[in-house]
Amino acid sequence: MKHIISYLLAFAFVVSAMGQDNPPAPMSVVPQPRQIEWHKMEQYAFVHFTINTFTDREWGYGDESPELFNPTDFDADALVKVVKDANLKGLILTAKHHDGFCLWPSEYTEHSVKNSPYKGGQGDIVGEVAAACRRHGIKFGIYLSPWDRNHSDYGTEAYLEYYRNQVRELLTNYGPVFEMWFDGANGGDGYYGGANEVRRVASGYLYYDWPKVIDIIRELSPECVVWSSSLPDARWCSNERGVIDEHCWAMATPEELYRDGVDNMPLLRHGQEDGTRWAPAEADVSIRPGWFYHASEQPKSAEELFDIYLTSVGRGGTLLLSLAPDRRGRIPEQDVEALMAWRTMVDDTFRNDLSADATFAVSSSRGDGYEAVAMQGVDEAYWATADDVTTGDVYIRWDAPITMRYVVIQEHIALGQRVRRFAVETRDGDEWRQVAAGTTVGYKRILPLDDAVTTSELRIRFLDSRGPLTIARVAVY
Ligand code: FUL
């Protein structure tokens, strides 16, 4: 028996010396399955709609009469169809914004659609949108403002109970949801049931007692990604322009991100290579200057939206693009036009992967199943280097020269984010010429080249990595 064991061990040693066919060990921080699904969505809609739409404001004070909420032509299917046609994969609705008005007939307040003229008080915007999302295969998400300028108990323990009851009510009646969005805005003054005063919570981070809210979410909607200032599954990218930094880790340490309730902007922007939690950046941005509809404002152009796509989806995070229904409850026609033109631009640009008919080679690979070919769009496969190899080159060769504008690189993030530095080069006779370079990659990195480049050979150099390389995909457009 002893002999057999030593024989088997010796055999295993020879095989491993030839190549490793086991996957590389995961990094210490990796995404949860719900976060991997979220990354794959890449882009989804925000919908800002409430009493502000009818008062022409961005932040309601909290004393607005529910009578003001009166969309004349709201149609949840039409709204979701716009989202779907724009190739947005989900929709997060402002169930309650800072003014406290609830778009569903909550049993915990009278300040809701049930006291509005909409459908004679029988309407339920949250319910109608959630149902339309399910009908059209769009994932549904909820924004529920923690700050509530209407509620008389805001700032006390009683309000927290109200808030948690609403989270439970929403998830029970309209879940499961793919994301819950807990806005960090806490402005101070408000109506507060008639008190008309300034109420500051010492530290939003501590007051709301997020772990208790998150427990409710885990219980009722385990697949939900939580966007919040505490224990985030996804974090703010530090601006509302749709720009994730070029240097961006998906990892972050929550206690340092929001220290004492204050946003740590550099950490939100860059994440932390040694962060303790997978908390990738999400870029929230509105198609218009404001979040809510204002007749005086115009939507961004398709070109502006395309740039936003490159700086969000193209930088390892997701794009949360906000739409603003007008007083009819419809997405304004010019916004729909911009969205569809944007979708066409993205589709046209990234339709034909020029690397599909190229030959891939790598400087070294881990072994069977982790070869160069794994990067050519093979589902779930990835190129990996041996345990002690943290650099490597990918060569892409064409029979005839191609002209390219974009290089796309993806890491196999299930095993963690690793790449620290890379460069893209083209062959120029006997020389290699650098055409792009970067630091982090993450789920997906799109590198726009300054000018279109014509070449028949490309080299992507991974110059530094936190562990063996695990590259899921390289594509060229
Ligand atoms: C901010 C809010 O104050 C804005 O009104 C908007 O909802 C935006 C998405 O988040 O913090």
| Ligand 1 atom closest to Cα of residue 185 | 11
| Ligand 1 atom closest to Cα of residue 183 | 11
Separation in Å, CA 466 to CA 26, 28, 345: 11, 11, 35
Q: Taking the CB of residue 184, how many other CB atoms lie within 10 A of it?
A: 18
| Ligand 1 atom closest to Cα of residue 187 | 3
The best mutation among 291, 292, 293, 294 to test binding of ligand 1, ranked by most ligand atoms within 8 Å of the C-beta, falls on: 291
Residue whose CA is at the smallest distance from ligand 1 atom 3: 185
Q: How far is the CA of 185 from the centre of ligand 1 (A)?
A: 7
| Ligand 1 atom closest to Cα of residue 181 | 9
Q: How far is the CA of 205 from the centre of ligand 1 (A)?
A: 17
What whole-number distance in Å separates Cα of residue 59 and Cα of residue 55? 10
Q: How far is the CA of 10 from the centre of ligand 1 (A)?
A: 62
Q: How far is the CA of 195 from the centre of ligand 1 (A)?
A: 24
Whole-number pLDDT of residue 204: 60
Q: How far is the CA of 379 from the centre of ligand 1 (A)?
A: 37
Q: How far is the CA of 470 from the centre of ligand 1 (A)?
A: 37
Which residues, 6+ apart, have CB-to-CB distance to 117 below 8 Å? 67, 69, 70
What whole-number distance in Å separates Cα of residue 179 and Cα of residue 214? 12
Domains and CATH numbers, the chain: 2-29+353-476 (2.60.120.260), 33-349 (3.20.20.80)
Which positions of the chain have pLDDT values less than 50?
Answer: 1-17
Residue whose CA is at the smallest distance from ligand 1 atom 4: 291
Q: How far is the CA of 237 from the centre of ligand 1 (A)?
A: 13
The best mutation among 145, 240, 286 to test binding of ligand 1, ranked by most ligand atoms within 8 Å of the C-beta, falls on: 240
| Ligand 1 atom closest to Cα of residue 284 | 9
| Ligand 1 atom closest to Cα of residue 48 | 7
What whole-number distance in Å separates Cα of residue 411 and Cα of residue 374? 12
Q: Which two tokens stand for residue 20?
A: 């490793």
Q: How far is the CA of 418 from the centre of ligand 1 (A)?
A: 32
What whole-number distance in Å separates Cα of residue 400 and Cα of residue 171? 55
Whole-number pLDDT of residue 18: 55
Q: Quick: pLDDT tens for 164-218.
A: 999 999 999 999 999 999 998 887 999 999 999 999 886 666 789 999 999 999 9
Rounded-to-5 percentages of helix, strand, coil across the chain: 30, 25, 45
Q: How far is the CA of 145 from the centre of ligand 1 (A)?
A: 9
Which residues, 6+ apart, have CB-to-CB distance to 91 below 8 Å? 44, 45, 46, 47, 79, 80, 83, 129, 133, 138, 139, 140, 141
Separation in Å, CA 47 to CA 36, 109, 170: 23, 22, 17
In 242-332, alpha helices (H): 254-257, 265-270, 302-312
Q: How far is the CA of 58 from the centre of ligand 1 (A)?
A: 9
Q: Which two tokens stand for residue 457?
A: 């050979």
Contact 318, 312 (CB under 8 A): yes
Q: Which two tokens stand for residue 224?
A: 């939900």
| Ligand 1 atom closest to Cα of residue 145 | 7
Find out whether the peptide bond into 289 is cis, omega within 30 degrees of 0.
no
| Ligand 1 atom closest to Cα of residue 94 | 7
Using CB distances shorter than 6 Å, the residues near ligand 1 are 58, 183, 185, 284, 291
Residue whose CA is at the smallest distance from ligand 1 atom 11: 185
What whole-number distance in Å separates Cα of residue 382 and Cα of residue 372? 8
| Ligand 1 atom closest to Cα of residue 58 | 5
| Ligand 1 atom closest to Cα of residue 291 | 6
Q: How far is the CA of 7 from the centre of ligand 1 (A)?
A: 65
Q: Quick: pLDDT tens for 226-264.
A: 998 888 999 999 999 999 999 999 999 998 998 777 889
Q: How far is the CA of 46 from the centre of ligand 1 (A)?
A: 11
Whole-number pLDDT of residue 206: 79
State pTM to two decimals: 0.95
Q: How far is the CA of 183 from the centre of ligand 1 (A)?
A: 7
Residue whose CA is at the smallest distance from ligand 1 atom 6: 291
The best mutation among 183, 286, 293, 320 to test binding of ligand 1, ranked by most ligand atoms within 8 Å of the C-beta, falls on: 183
